[in-house]
Amino acid sequence: MKKEWQFSYEDFDSWKELSEEDQLLVQKAFSICEDAYAPYSEFKVGASMKMSDGQIICGSNQENVAFPSGMCAERVALFYAGSNFPDLEVLTLCIVAKGPFTSIDKILSPCGGCRQVILQSEARQKNKMRVILVSQNDYTLVLDSAKDLVPFAFI
């Protein structure tokens, strides 16, 4: 029997249409993105997370000459939070990127490995993790739950 998988998200022409709180999160992600270490791909990615105690934790991608040794921005931020604040929840995760690696109108979307990690971080906490994805042309997607990123997740 043919079935369909459904998920919902909001979209905005620009992240500047988001609430002030979300806009601040986007700005923090862009700010950390500047200092990403991405000499090989030249694709700088920034992740910011609004935590349940109100603080914002950020991370950027860190590349390495031995390619698999590098790490994506989302995982840098999530693993830092998991290490230092294991009892805090991530209320909202925001991801932005800059660089010629992808065309400007391509929707920014986390890689498969990051989706798996994001999903498990959400599963560990009581509340849903919102996800804000800002493409290079400012087009923005907002998901209510990280779960919507992966159908038939291994979790």
Distances (CA, A) of 49 to 56, 58, 69, 111, 154: 5, 6, 23, 17, 23
46 binds ligand THU (CB under 6 A): no
Question: Which member of 61, 92, 121, 135 binds ligand THU (CB under 6 A)?
Answer: 61
State the maximum Cα–Cα separation within the chain, in Å, rounded to a whole number: 49
Count each helix (H run) and each strand (E run) in the chain, helices first. 3, 6
Give the nearest distance from C-beta 20 to ligand THU in angstroms.
Answer: 26
Question: Which member of 90, 110, 134, 140 binds ligand THU (CB under 6 A)?
Answer: 110
Give the nearest distance from C-beta 77 to ligand THU in angstroms.
Answer: 10
Residues that bind ligand THU (CB under 6 A): 38, 41, 43, 45, 61, 63, 70, 72-74, 101, 110-111, 114
